[in-house]
């Protein structure tokens, strides 16, 4: 989203999408390291799916390519669900996907996770490395949902809204429901949320310029 501080005040980031890199069982690569090495030696020979041009899936792989030189052929789909279906049916060998959208296929053994898109491993999948471990300098692309308030909101009101939002987000019921749909609860401060937004604007700008993104008509 386009963030303009004169229009709105960040209150808190609610949750961040849990995204992983997946392949089919028995595919040409067995680990994220193998995928990176293969893509470096054979640029654009392997394709990967995403939920569309400029999506967090697309940004994540473009950042991997930017840092490592591992080039995969991008196949953008209309939705993440379409990308997952293409992987499961064998139309593509790799996809980036939100855990909530691919969970049933993962539990059925139809897909294999190679890496968590982030800098830390998931507690539920400690055997799956984080991209930050394999690709030094990797930063998670913006996959969060947040709470915003009108600009120039009085501080006492902002703090009260923030407190109530964090109280709700950190309740067991909400945390459980958020986990079901593939998100991690964040519940940070307004200052931390503002810093996160600005740093990710810089990250996306850097990726887009390096990858030479062009506007789509």
Among residues 93, 127, 129, 126, the alpha carbon closest in space to that of 111 is found at 93
Task: Report the 10 Å Cβ neighbour count for 1.
Answer: 9
Cα 208 to Cα 41: distance, rounded to the nearest angstrom: 23
Cα 33 to Cα 68: distance, rounded to the nearest angstrom: 11
Per-residue burial over 42-67, b = 16 or more CB atoms within 10 Å of its CB, e = otherwise:
eeeebebbbbbebbbbbbbbbbbbbb
Mean pLDDT for 20-33 is: 93
Cα 153 to Cα 29: distance, rounded to the nearest angstrom: 52
pLDDT, residue 114, reads 97
Among residues 44, 43, 35, 50, the alpha carbon closest in space to that of 73 is found at 44
Does the pLDDT value for residue 2 go beyond 50?
no
pLDDT, residue 6, reads 67
Q: Are 116 and 128 in contact (CB under 8 A)?
A: yes
Q: For residue 215, what pLDDT band results from cuts at 50, 70 and 90?
A: low
Q: For residue range 64-122, what is the model confidence (pLDDT) as tens digits?
A: 999 999 999 999 999 999 999 999 999 999 999 999 889 899 999 999 999 999 999 98
Q: For residue 5, what pLDDT band results from cuts at 50, 70 and 90?
A: low
Q: For residue 28, what pLDDT band results from cuts at 50, 70 and 90?
A: confident
Residues above pLDDT 90, as percent of the chain: 79
Q: Are 58 and 76 in contact (CB under 8 A)?
A: yes
Positive or negative: CA dihedral 137, 192, 162, 5: negative
- Please state the pTM of the whole predicted model: 0.87
pLDDT, residue 91, reads 95
Query: Residue 211: enclosing H or E segment and its boundaries?
Result: helix 190-211
Among residues 42, 50, 34, 40, the alpha carbon closest in space to that of 115 is found at 34
pLDDT, residue 217, reads 54
Cα 136 to Cα 142: distance, rounded to the nearest angstrom: 18
Cα 18 to Cα 100: distance, rounded to the nearest angstrom: 8
Cα 16 to Cα 27: distance, rounded to the nearest angstrom: 29
């Amino acid at each position: 989203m386009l963030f303009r501080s004169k229009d709105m005040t960040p209150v808190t980031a609610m949750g961040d999408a849990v995204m992983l890199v997946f392949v089919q069982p028995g595919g040409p690569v067995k680990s994220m390291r193998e995928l990176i090495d293969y893509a470096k030696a054979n640029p654009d020979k392997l394709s990967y799916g995403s939920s569309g041009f400029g999506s967090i899936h697309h940004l994540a792989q473009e950042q991997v390519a930017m840092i490592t030189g591992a080039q995969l052929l991008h196949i953008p789909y209309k939705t993440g669900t379409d990308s997952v279906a293409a992987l499961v049916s064998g139309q593509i060998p790799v996809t980036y996907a939100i855990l909530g959208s691919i969970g049933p296929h993962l539990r059925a053994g139809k897909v294999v996770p190679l890496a968590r898109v982030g800098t830390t491993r998931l507690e539920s999948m400690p055997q799956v490395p984080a991209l930050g471990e394999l690709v030094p300098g990797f930063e998670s692309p913006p996959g969060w949902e947040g709470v915003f308030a009108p600009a120039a909101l009085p501080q006492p009101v902002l703090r009260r809204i923030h407190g109530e939002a964090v109280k709700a987000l950190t309740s067991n019921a909400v945390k459980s429901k958020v986990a079901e749909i593939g998100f991690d609860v964040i519940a940070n401060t307004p200052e931390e949320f503002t810093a996160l937004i600005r740093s990710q604007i810089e990250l996306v700008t850097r990726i887009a310029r390096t990858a030479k993104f062009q506007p789509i008509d």
